Chains A and B, each alone.
Chain A
Amino acid sequence: MDSTTRQFKDNARGALDDAQLQNALDKLGRGFPLKRLEAAARLPEFERLRDQAREIKNHVLDNLDFYLEAFEAKVEAAGGQVHWCADADAARRTIGEICKAAGAKTVTKSKSMIGEEIAINDYLENEGIEPIETDLGEYIIQLRREPPSHIIAPAIHLSMGQVEETFRESHADLDPDRALDEPRKLLEEARTRLRDRFLGADVGLTGANMLIAETGSNVLVTNEGNADLTYSLPRVHIVIASLEKIVPTLEDASTILRVLARSATGQEMSVYTTFCTGVRRPGDLDGPEEYHVVLLDNGRSKLLGTESHEMLRCIRCGACLNHCPVYRSVGGHAYGWVYSGPMGAVLIPGLIGMDEAAHLPNASTLCGRCEQVCPMRIPLPRMLRAWRHKLYESRRTGALGRWALEGWAWLARRPRLYRLIMGLGVAGLGMLGRRRGRFRRLPLAGGWTGGRDLPAPEGDTFIQQWHKGARGDASGERLRRRGR
């Protein structure tokens, strides 16, 4: 996917001016966090599970090669094949070749962020193969040719009215006077459209919430059951997954499942949780004849051992997006690439480069709520700061900002001079602002005063007054009144 991350500020401005989007983001911000809170409160061991989940992934990242090879051996023993792909291009070509070998005309797809990362749909279309998204949200945005705006709720930016419009336009063969005024009707229409596509698909392409080394399985978690129809009906099942999705055992997978849905949507479990292992065995009633796992690196192994190492624990639940004040203000598209929110701001610079993504680590208040809710306890604020440090050190931070910051820091290290200059500054501002108590406009303060007044300083600094002995009067009088 091409990135518009360089235009983050313009993207954000557009998002802020989009009343419909703001409405959708308000709903998301009210809904998901509350549901997560309630789900966590219902499970006394939730915090302990988070610790366990973190330890599982820490152990995996320390032994990644071992578990990936163990996984491959199990996949092969179950009649499948693992394809190691260093980058997006290798993954696309591998998938294309498998589809061609299967003589595929249509490929059904369940939701996969890795699919977005390697832009597999565009590739397949260019190869003359039709990809069909089967997750409802993904189906809608595929019709609209939009990227997802949230890692678990790809069409969260849309209103029901917009979906209705899209369906009327795209399903032009249906009765134009049909009623589509409630979610149920939209859902039924999509299901009806998709049913034949499921049955007719030559290849089913799914993501993977986890890969299990012990059994060579992939785990699929959905609320719609679309992944099950995607992998079980066609002759060929392709799983695309990034390499950090691996966990050692079924037991480990179940620990992570217990924090995943609770963190994501506040559900105890997603409606469908499926473990797929290899090809159809003699006597099986259904299942694919071919099972391929396309294992993607795409820059991740380079993050091992760096400040972004812990980002590889991420299980893509979306909790950090749902709780992020910035994401909740501008939505996912503003971030300009596949991922968004705090996890995106940490991951994107590592995957597409700091030049492209310089805005993202900076566009955060560092409020820390993401770390507070992350089921894998990823220290996102610390990692955002680490990127800021790298951006600063590599001089990707704007020259004017650097100059101002370094000038200020120079002054802050010279307390007497600082006191003199700052003292004069606040005395002047204090005099100008005393009558109103605040400024509506001030030169060089446009970033602040665009939407806020600037409270005026009192005039004298605290330290000036204190060292002039002002303290005695102020504190003494009130203390006496308090009767001490």
Chain B
Amino acid sequence: MTQPSVGLFVTCLVDLMRPATGFAAAELIEAAGFRVEVPAAQTCCGQPAYNSGNTEDTRAIAKQVIAAFEGFDYVVVPSGSCGGTLRKHYPELFAADAAWQARAESLADKTFELTQFLQEHAKSNEKLLAWEVAATYHDSCSGLRELGIKGQPRELLSKVDGLSLIEGQEAETCCGFGGLFCVKYGDISEEIVSAKVADIDKTGADLVLGGDLGCLMNIAGRLKRLGRPTEVRHVAEVLAGMRDAPAIGEPDG
């Protein structure tokens, strides 16, 4: 029997900034019994244009993503906000175009954020590779509020031997990234991420995990500017036991 296919929408940030997260995601999906494919025609989900009010360009980009991914059994995205764009916002874009709306809805129905996919489709009680660390989890806003990602990464992490999860009081509070917001309103973004870092400090965790690279780069960037040793990683890297890649913003080797 052939394995069901998963189109990995790796996201522009993972593609360009942190391929390690993409490899970790691919590995986890394969280990769960799926065949992973990475269409070369993918660039970005169009979120920067969408959130800037540039709907026309967003539609063009969405059509490209739909065409590239609609042939797979599943589409998996290692990001709550890009996943949310495919699942929630693409169908809204084509309210006036029934044919494309149907295609967008069909794509949305089979698109999953990575931890949601692993939790729903890779039901396994098997232990993952051990990782001795005190970690805390940042719930990225779009994943949490658009897709309901909350328990999934935590349940997956509970299978990692040696990893203890310490919840931040403000785990569900925005980190201040907000896509282009963080450069358009850099001062405000800095204030918000400073509050996030203060909450992380309070947990005493040595590792910050999350499911969205944008937020993680923002948090890591602030932690490093403040000279904190706290490391930051995408949750997929820990689930895949990918220790060879340095944490986000850390030097190679």
Q: Which residues of A contact B (CB under 8 A)?
A: 9, 12-13, 16, 325-326, 328-330, 362-369, 371-372, 385, 387-393, 397, 401-402, 405-406, 408-413, 415, 418-419, 422, 425-426, 434-438, 440, 445-448, 450-458, 460-463, 465-467, 470-471, 474-475, 478-479, 481-482, 484
Contact = CB atoms under 8 A, between A and B. Distances in A.
A368 B51 CA distance: 13
Interface in B230-253: 240-242, 245-246, 248-252
B141 A367 contact: yes
A483 to B, nearest CB: 9
B38 A467 contact: yes
A454 B221 contact: yes
A390 B53 CA distance: 7
A448 B17 contact: no
Given A326-B192, A371-B145, A447 B182 contact: yes
A404 B49 CA distance: 10
Interface string B5-24: 00000101011111110110
A418 B42 CA distance: 10
B145 A369 contact: yes
Nearest to B185: A363
B188 A329 contact: yes
A406 B184 contact: no
B242 A475 contact: no
Given A329-B192, A385-B53, A479-B30, A453 B146 contact: no
B64 interface: yes
Contact of A451 (B30, B48, B174, B222): B222
A480 to B, nearest CB: 11
B186 A447 contact: yes
Interface stretch (B54-62, B103-111, B150-158): B54-62
B132 interface: no
B190 interface: yes
B242 A478 contact: yes
A368 B145 CA distance: 7
Interface of A is mostly: helix
A426 B128 contact: no
Given A385-B53, A415-B40, A422-B16, A437 B250 contact: yes
B53 A393 contact: yes
Given A325-B192, A436-B251, A448 B52 contact: no
A388 B174 contact: no
Contacts of B91: none
Given A367-B145, A415-B40, 16 more contacts: A12-B187, A385-B51, A392-B53, A405-B57, A412-B64, A422-B16, A438-B224, A452-B225, A453-B220, A453-B225, A455-B17, A455-B248, A458-B20, A462-B15, A462-B19, A471-B36
B165 interface: no
Contacts of B48: 405, 408
Contacts of B86: none
Contacts of A422: 16
A478 B186 contact: no
A422 B44 CA distance: 12
Given A413-B61, A437-B246, A455-B249, A419 B26 contact: no
A482 B52 contact: no
Contacts of B246: 437
Nearest to A425: B16
Given A453-B224, A475-B23, A365 B177 contact: yes
B15 A463 contact: yes
A481 B178 contact: no
15 contacts: A367-B174, A387-B53, A390-B53, A412-B12, A415-B42, A438-B249, A450-B186, A453-B224, A455-B249, A461-B16, A471-B23, A474-B23, A478-B129, A478-B240, A482-B128
A329 B187 CA distance: 10
* Candidate in A329, A436, A448, A452 with the most chain B CB atoms within 10 angstroms: A452
B218 A452 contact: yes
Contacts of A406: 54, 57
A437 B249 contact: yes
B43 interface: yes
B200 interface: no
Nearest to A446: B186
A393 B15 CA distance: 30
Contacts of A329: 188, 191-192, 195
Contacts of B142: 366, 368
A260 B143 CA distance: 28
Nearest to A410: B57
A475 B195 CA distance: 37
Nearest to B23: A474
Nearest to B88: A382
Interface string B31-50: 10000101011111010111
A458 B250 CA distance: 10
Interface in B170-219: 172-174, 176-179, 181-195, 217-218
Nearest to B216: A455
A473 B179 CA distance: 33
A451 B188 CA distance: 10
B17 A458 contact: yes
A416 to B, nearest CB: 8
* Candidate in B27, B142, B144, B246 with the most chain A CB atoms within 10 angstroms: B27
A388 B51 contact: yes
Nearest to B182: A448
* Candidate in A326, A367, A457 with the most chain B CB atoms within 10 angstroms: A367
Contact of A448 (B43, B49, B183): B183
A309 to B, nearest CB: 16
Closest 10 CB pairs of A and B: A365-B178, A447-B183, A452-B221, A392-B53, A451-B190, A388-B53, A462-B19, A409-B57, A367-B174, A455-B249
Interface in B82-111: none
Contacts of A418: 43
A458 B27 CA distance: 19
A363 B22 contact: no
